[in-house]
Amino acid sequence: MHARRFVAVGLAVVMAVGFLTATLMVNASTEASLANSIGAGFRNADLVVTAGEDGELDGAMAAAVAKADGVAEVYAQRHSRVAFGSGTQAGFGLMQDLAPRSLDSLTVVSGRLPAGNGEVAVDDTTAAKYGLAAGTSLKLAAGSGTVAARDLKDAAGATVTGVVKASKDPLLMGQPQLHALPVLAARLAGDSGYYPSIQARVADGTSVTEAKAAVESALDGAGSVVVRTADEQTKAVVAMFTGGQDQLTIILLAFALIALLVCALVVSNTFSVLVAQRTRELALLRCIGAGRNQIRRSVIVEALLVGTAASILGVLGAIGLMAGIIAVLQRQPDTEFAVLAVPGHAVAAGLLAGVVMTVLAALSPARAATAVAPLAALRPVDDARLGNRRGKVRLAAGLVLTVAGGAILALGATTANLLIALPGGALSFVGLLMCASLFVPPLVRGVGQLARPLGVPGRLAAVNAVRNPGRTSATAAALLIGVTLVTMMMTGAQTARQVFDTQLGAEYPVDITVTDRALDGRPLDQAAARTAARHEGVTAAGLVTVAGSTEIDGSQTPVYRLGPGQAQLLQDKSLVLDAGTVLVPQGSGVKTLAVAGAEGSKTLTAVETGSRFFPPLVSAAVAEELGGPAPEQADAGAGPQLWLAVDRELGAAELMQLRTDLAAELNVNDYQLSGAAIERAAFNQIIDVMLLVVTGLLAVAVLIALVGVANTLSLSVLERTRESSLLRALGLTTGQLRGMLALEAVLVAGVAALIGTVLGVLYGWLGARSALGVFGDVAPSLPWLQLAAVLAVAVVAGLLASVLPARRAARLSPVEGLATT
């Protein structure tokens, strides 16, 4: 009869159940995708032999497996590090033996697999990066690390015969993969090769179980080995990557539980309003013979029907969403191995959670439906108020939890112990929610005074918003949870950025340091400094040369010279160099330091910096007295360093691109560029990604809460149909009626968002203090624009939530409304 009243309830349940089901599917799909990626390398094998904890595989073991009963063919997969080069480009990668045809798992993209000992195949990623194709000549040599083409001029040559699909095994991804016949691979490997696995194909007519037992028997006494089927090996490797549990799923489940909690508040509040609105109808049923249990059961059955239907839709929606995401991933070159998995426990958990949550949320309203005598049907049922026994008990429990949790949270923040602060914050927050009826209605009433200048709609909205304090508190609490968590993450992230920035500024002497030589063997020089200085985003560049050497902790350490005008490159502007001092790294523990150069030695006063990475540094005047490094010091290999200062407004992506561009222009590897700016960019990038993901997850809870605001307001409109029609009859226009309802929604949403923002800032700061307090003092850093955006979004969302209820109320004529019973 009143199906529309349950639409918003169903929508909230659909979102919460969908979130929970999708979370469980993420775990299963991740494992299935990993299995598809990892297992691709031995998809044609029946048995896989791997080394035990303290063992290694070797050729003798492969021969023993080949002789075992029931084994038709064996592939001793051997890996070795090789250097390769073509033209002016060079790199290093992983050389793998080619498998026999029956055990081969390679996919040829172009050309063919090697058939001779002077041939090699490469993966498609490496081919694209180095410009390789079938027919290209390669130089190959054993070894690993940084390599230049000039280092391979005397190396053996090989011809590329084909390009194969790069392995999606996480252990192999991201590195060049070369494939050759065992003879060439063995020659390049020398003593450095190792066997990650030995694969075996079982002969026709032999069961895998029998062959496995035979292989185990053949390897008995050969060392620590493990024999598994291909499926068992896949599961074992996946378990190694996930550590036996999926931390991502645990985090996602936490957010899913938050969404379920908010949903339960919305459902309970909605059913309370539904019962209150139908008090007369239920009382009439009581008058004509319906018992209390029948009325209670009718409300619970309604919740059961709504929960079941909405849960089914939520599960189907989650499956559809995950299928769409997997389909997109499968079209991407790096994630084409993605697989959709819909485990039965995910479906069952979603359905069970949705139904149980809806029914439990309806128990209190169902009890309230039978608490009113039939003759008192016109009097609405009040929720737990501060004045009755239930309200007093809940308030007392809430105050105890708030005080106790707050004390524990303060202790955790003071001692920098997140394990103490986390439960304390949770307890205090639960306590505040239980006490919501103590402070939410008064705040709504107080803020409502600001609406009085808007005339009759403003005054009516301020009164109506707190007419039912219990309903107002429950509605605000649902939104308060989401806003608090969102603002907490924003404040925590901003504070963490500030802490990392401060620590990195003390830890690294300059924004970017370029060390070591260029790839062609030349040391860094003034030309490199000029090249870097001209690059967009670099504000200053200077070449810091070696002035001499000194002994710190028993080892010879180069001492560098800070030239005129280069002090601006230092992060710590308080550091001062003069003719009698030398700057030394943090923890050096020396008072004076003897610095030796080509023209003698000089003892200087040591000034310890706040950085462990700070090289000993002297002024230009001291460097001139020393006469530069002695010949034996120059031969020791320590070369000049290039110090750069960069624009502090550059974002993480721009800094990473700057690093890549500079490495290319200076002919150095990316890892040779380090410093505060790059580390800061890396930290900020991680924080930004985490914040984006977490905010997106918490947005589900906020969205459910806003559905609750709209639902409560809509039911409130139905409940006050006669009142609204009477106001219309007395002269209130449709525009004023819409304005009144819009202001009601804005008041509730705005106050909830304001309280949530204040709590989120406090929790975010204390959380960051408990997690990062070991690094030093953690001062709160507030992202004002983001916090203002959260408030604005909540107010606008509250305004939008009032549109449909206001439209419904305005469409009803005063005569029809007054005739409503």
pLDDT score recorded for residue 610: 72
Q: Is the pLDDT of residue 342 over 70?
A: yes
pLDDT score recorded for residue 151: 66
Q: What tokens appear for 159 in the block? A: 């011809």
pLDDT score recorded for residue 191: 61
Claim to verify: residue 322 and residue 468 sit in the same structural domain: no
Q: Is the pLDDT of residue 378 over 60?
A: no
Claim to verify: residue 215 and residue 241 sit in the same structural domain: no
Asked if residue 344 belongs to a domain, the reply is yes
E strands within 1-63? 47-51
The residue-averaged pLDDT of 544-570 equals 81
The region of weakest confidence among 88-102, 198-212, 248-262 is 248-262
pLDDT score recorded for residue 772: 78
Q: Which residues lie closer than 8 Å to 165 by C-beta, 6 or more apart?
A: 106, 107, 108, 109, 123, 124
DSSP label at residue 57 = B
Instruction: Label residue 252 by pLDDT band (50, 70, 90).
Output: low
Claim to verify: residue 335 and residue 300 sit in the same structural domain: yes
User: Of 676 and 606, which is predicted with more confidence?
Assistant: 606
Claim to verify: residue 162 and residue 271 sit in the same structural domain: no
Claim to verify: residue 529 and residue 564 sit in the same structural domain: yes
The region of weakest confidence among 256-270, 540-554, 595-609 is 256-270
Asked if residue 396 belongs to a domain, the reply is no
pLDDT score recorded for residue 308: 93
Distance CA(474)–CA(480), nearest Å, equals 10
The three-class DSSP label of residue 560 is strand
Q: Domain range spanning residue 466?
A: 438-508+678-821
pLDDT score recorded for residue 380: 46
Asked if residue 432 belongs to a domain, the reply is no
Claim to verify: residue 478 and residue 523 sit in the same structural domain: no
Claim to verify: residue 556 and residue 670 sit in the same structural domain: yes
Number of structural domains the chain divides into:
4
Averaged pLDDT of the chain: 79
Q: Helix-strand-coil percent breakdown of the chain, rounded to 5?
A: 60, 15, 25
Asked if residue 429 belongs to a domain, the reply is no
Residue-wise pLDDT tens digits, 678-729: 777 766 766 676 666 666 666 776 777 777 677 666 666 666 677 777 777 8
Claim to verify: residue 3 and residue 132 sit in the same structural domain: no
pLDDT score recorded for residue 243: 54
Measured at the CA of 156, the angle between CA 155 and CA 158, to 5 degrees, comes to 130
User: Which of 198, 223, 248 is at the close of a domain?
Assistant: 223
Claim to verify: residue 114 and residue 191 sit in the same structural domain: yes
The residue-averaged pLDDT of 233-240 equals 74
Q: Is the pLDDT of residue 300 over 80?
A: yes
Nearest to 763 by CA among 492, 581, 573: 492
Q: Is the pLDDT of residue 624 over 60?
A: yes
The residue-averaged pLDDT of 232-260 equals 66
pTM for the full predicted model: 0.61
Checking phi first, is residue 614 left (phi over 0); if not, alpha (psi -120 to 50) or beta? beta
Nearest to 283 by CA among 379, 358, 355, 210: 379
Distance CA(92)–CA(392), nearest Å, equals 73
DSSP label at residue 319 = H
pLDDT score recorded for residue 312: 94
User: Which of 341, 362, 381 is at the close of a domain?
Assistant: 381
pLDDT score recorded for residue 403: 92
Please count the other Cβ atoms lying within 10 Å of the Cβ belonging to residue 596: 18
Asked if residue 391 belongs to a domain, the reply is no
pLDDT score recorded for residue 282: 75
pLDDT score recorded for residue 407: 93
Q: Is the pLDDT of residue 495 over 80?
A: yes
Asked if residue 410 belongs to a domain, the reply is no
Asked if residue 390 belongs to a domain, the reply is no
Claim to verify: residue 104 and residue 212 sit in the same structural domain: yes
Give the chain's length: 821
Q: Is the pLDDT of residue 172 over 50?
A: yes
Asked if residue 586 belongs to a domain, the reply is yes
Percentage of the chain modeled with pLDDT above 70: 82
Burial of 698 (0-12, 13-18, 19+ CB in 10 A): buried
pLDDT score recorded for residue 408: 92
Claim to verify: residue 701 and residue 784 sit in the same structural domain: yes
User: Which of 674, 696, 714 is at the close of a domain?
Assistant: 674
Q: Is the pLDDT of residue 400 over 80?
A: yes
Dihedrals phi, psi of 200, to nearest 5 degrees: -135, 140
The region of weakest confidence among 109-123, 160-174, 366-380, 468-482 is 366-380
Asked if residue 791 lies in contact with residue 434, where contact means CB atoms within 8 angstroms, the answer is no
DSSP label at residue 224 = S
Give the range with max mean pLDDT: 274-288, 301-315, 521-535: 301-315
pLDDT score recorded for residue 348: 92
Claim to verify: residue 205 and residue 270 sit in the same structural domain: no
Nearest to 122 by CA among 152, 87, 153, 94: 94
